[in-house]
C-alpha cells in the first residue's frame, strides 16, 4: 500500500540514492506517457522531451531506461520494444515524483453537488459510489462503516414487490442501512403495518448488538410462541437487520472500467466476477488502513482477479465516529495525479454531508 498524503520517507531516501536526477526524470516521463496512452513507451518518444531541464540524446535515454529496467522500475513486454512501469516504478512515482495537483473549481463544485445528501430512504453509500463514478469516470466503490456501537432509532420494512421487502435501518445520527428481504409468500399490507409497529415497540433505540441479542432472546419466549405475527416480525428481523460486523458495498461504473482497461478476456472475467460477488472487494476494503488516502496495487492484495489493477481509497467518518471507505478501482495506468485528489476531496465532502455540514 502507498500512503499518498505523506512521503514514504525511508523508502524514498533509499531509492533516491540509487537514482540520479536524470533517472527519476526519465521514470516520471515514462509513467506519465504510459498513463496518457496505456501503451509501452519507446525511448524515442522520451528523447523528444526536455529531461531534467536539458535535451538528452536518444542513446542516453536508451541507456537510462535500460538502467531503470535493471533496477526493477521498468519492464519490457515481450510483444513491444517499449517499456512500461513496474509496480516498484509506480510506487516510487506515487511517493516522490507525482505532481501534487489541486482540484479545479469545476471539479470541486461538481463533487460537492454530486455528493449532496441522498434522498430520504436512499442509501448514502449508493449515492456516493454513483457520484464518484460520474466525476472520476472510473469504477467507484463505497463501503459503509461497521455499525458496531451505532444506535438505531428507526427500523421498518417497506414493500418493493409482491414478495420483496427492503429493511431500512436509520441510526440516531442519520446513517441509513438497506437490506433486501425475499419472501416465500405474499405479505398483506395490514400484516406489514403490524410488523412495523412491533419493530418500533421492540427494537428502536438499541445498537445492532443489542437488537441481535433481543431477537435471539425473544424467539425463545412465550410471546413468540403464542403470537404468530410477533414471531413473524422477529424472523424478518433476523434476515433484515445487519450484523454489527456487516458493511454495505455499493459499486458503480463497471462500464467505465471496461472502457478504461486493456486486458485479456480471462482477466476481465475474473475481475467482473469479483465485482459481482462483492465479498472479495469488501474483504480488501476492510483491510485498507483508515489513516489517509491510499493507492493499493492489486499485486499486493493476493487476489488473482485484481492483478494489473489498483485501488485509490480514502476514509470518511460517519456521525457516530465510525469509518467507511470510498474509492475507485482501475487499471495501473490511471491518472493518479488527477484521481487521488478527487478521492480525497470526495471522502472529506462525504464526511461533511454525513455530519450535517453540507
Residues 289/143, Cβ–Cβ less than 8 Å: no
Query: For the chain, what percent of residues have pLDDT higher than 70?
Result: 86
As a whole number, mean pLDDT of residues 269-292 equals 75
Query: Please, what's the largest Cα pairwise distance for the chain?
Result: 89
Decide if pLDDT at 63 tops 70.
yes
Average pLDDT, the chain: 82
In terms of DSSP H, where are the helices of the chain?
9-18, 21-37, 43-47, 58-70, 87-92, 105-114, 124-136, 189-202, 208-219, 222-226, 228-240, 254-260, 265-277, 279-286, 336-354
Considering Cα of 302, then 281, then 11, then 291, what sign does the dihedral take? negative
Mention every residue, 6+ apart, whose C-beta is less than 8 A from residue 238. 215
DSSP tag of 94: I
Mean pLDDT of the 2-23 span: 57
pLDDT single digits (tens) 105-130: 888 998 988 887 666 556 788 889 99
Q: What percent of the chain has pLDDT over 90?
A: 26
Question: What's the average model confidence in pLDDT over 286-314?
Answer: 79
Rounded CA gap, 336 and 136, in Å?
A: 11
What confidence tens digit (pLDDT) does each residue in 69-79 have? 999 999 988 76
Taking 50 as the threshold, does the pLDDT of residue 356 lie above it?
yes
Which of 24-38, 273-287, 303-317 has the lowest average pLDDT? 273-287
Q: Provide mean pLDDT across the span 1-21.
A: 53
Please report the domains of the chain, with CATH numbers, ordered by start residue: 2-97 (1.10.10.10), 105-145+247-354 (3.30.450.40), 151-240 (3.30.390.60)
**Which pLDDT score is estimated for 147?**
72
At 9 the pLDDT is 35
Q: Is the pLDDT of residue 258 over 60?
A: yes
Which pLDDT does position 118 carry in this prediction? Answer: 63
Q: What is the pLDDT of residue 94?
A: 93
Helices (H), 41-186: 43-47, 58-70, 87-92, 105-114, 124-136
Residue 52: the pLDDT is: 60
Per-residue confidence (pLDDT) for residue 316, from 0 to 100: 92
Residue 354 banded pLDDT, cuts 50, 70, 90: confident
The string of pLDDT tens digits covering residues 197-207 is 998 888 888 88
Would you state the pLDDT for residue 34?
A: 92
- pLDDT, tens digit, 9 for 90 and up, residues 145-190: 877 777 888 889 999 888 899 998 887 766 677 788 999 888 899 9
* d(C-alpha 165, C-alpha 159), whole Å: 5
Say yes or no to pLDDT of 12 above 50. no
> What is the grid cell recorded at 144?
459503509
Amino acid at each position: 500500500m502507498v500512503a499518498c498524503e505523506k512521503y514514504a520517507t525511508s523508502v524514498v531516501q533509499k531509492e533516491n540514492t540509487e537514482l540520479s536526477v536524470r533517472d527519476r526524470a526519465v521514470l516520471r516521463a515514462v509513467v506519465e506517457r504510459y498513463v496518457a496512452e496505456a501503451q509501452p513507451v519507446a525511448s524515442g518518444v522520451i528523447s523528444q522531451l526536455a529531461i531534467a531541464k536539458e535535451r538528452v540524446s536518444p542513446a542516453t535515454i536508451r541507456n537510462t531506461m535500460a538502467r531503470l529496467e535493471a533496477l526493477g522500475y521498468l519492464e519490457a513486454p515481450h510483444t513491444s520494444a517499449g517499456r512500461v512501469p513496474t509496480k516498484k516504478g509506480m510506487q516510487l512515482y506515487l511517493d516522490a515524483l507525482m505532481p501534487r495537483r489541486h482540484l479545479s473549481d469545476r471539479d470541486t463544485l461538481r463533487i460537492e453537488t454530486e455528493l449532496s445528501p441522498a434522498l430520504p430512504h436512499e442509501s448514502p453509500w449508493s449515492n456516493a459510489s454513483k457520484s464518484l463514478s460520474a466525476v472520476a469516470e472510473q469504477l467507484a466503490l463505497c463501503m459503509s462503516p461497521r455499525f458496531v456501537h451505532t444506535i438505531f432509532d428507526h427500523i421498518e420494512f417497506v414493500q418493493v414487490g409482491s414478495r420483496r421487502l427492503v429493511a431500512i435501518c436509520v441510526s440516531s445520527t442519520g446513517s441509513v442501512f438497506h437490506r433486501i428481504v425475499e419472501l416465500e409468500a405474499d405479505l398483506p399490507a395490514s400484516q406489514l403495518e403490524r410488523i412495523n409497529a412491533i419493530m418500533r415497540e421492540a427494537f428502536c433505540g438499541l445498537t445492532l448488538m443489542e437488537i441481535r441479542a433481543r431477537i435471539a432472546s425473544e424467539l425463545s419466549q412465550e410471546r413468540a410462541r403464542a403470537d404468530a405475527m410477533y414471531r413473524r416480525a422477529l424472523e424478518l428481523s433476523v434476515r433484515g437487520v445487519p450484523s454489527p460486523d456487516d458493511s454495505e458495498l455499493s459499486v458503480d461504473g463497471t462500464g467505465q472500467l471496461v472502457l478504461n482497461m486493456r486486458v485479456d478476456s480471462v482477466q476481465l472475467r475474473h475481475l467482473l466476477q469479483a465485482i459481482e460477488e462483492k465479498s472479495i472487494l469488501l474483504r480488501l476494503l476492510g483491510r485498507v488502513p483508515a489513516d489517509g488516502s491510499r493507492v493499493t496495487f492489486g499485486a499486493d492484495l493476493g487476489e488473482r482477479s485484481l492483478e494489473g489493477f489498483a485501488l485509490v481509497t480514502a476514509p470518511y467518518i460517519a456521525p457516530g465516529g465510525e469509518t467507511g471507505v470510498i474509492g475507485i478501482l482501475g487499471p495501473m495506468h490511471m491518472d493518479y495525479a488527477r484521481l487521488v485528489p478527487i478521492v480525497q476531496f470526495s471522502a472529506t465532502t462525504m464526511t461533511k454531508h454525513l455530519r450535517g455540514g453540507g
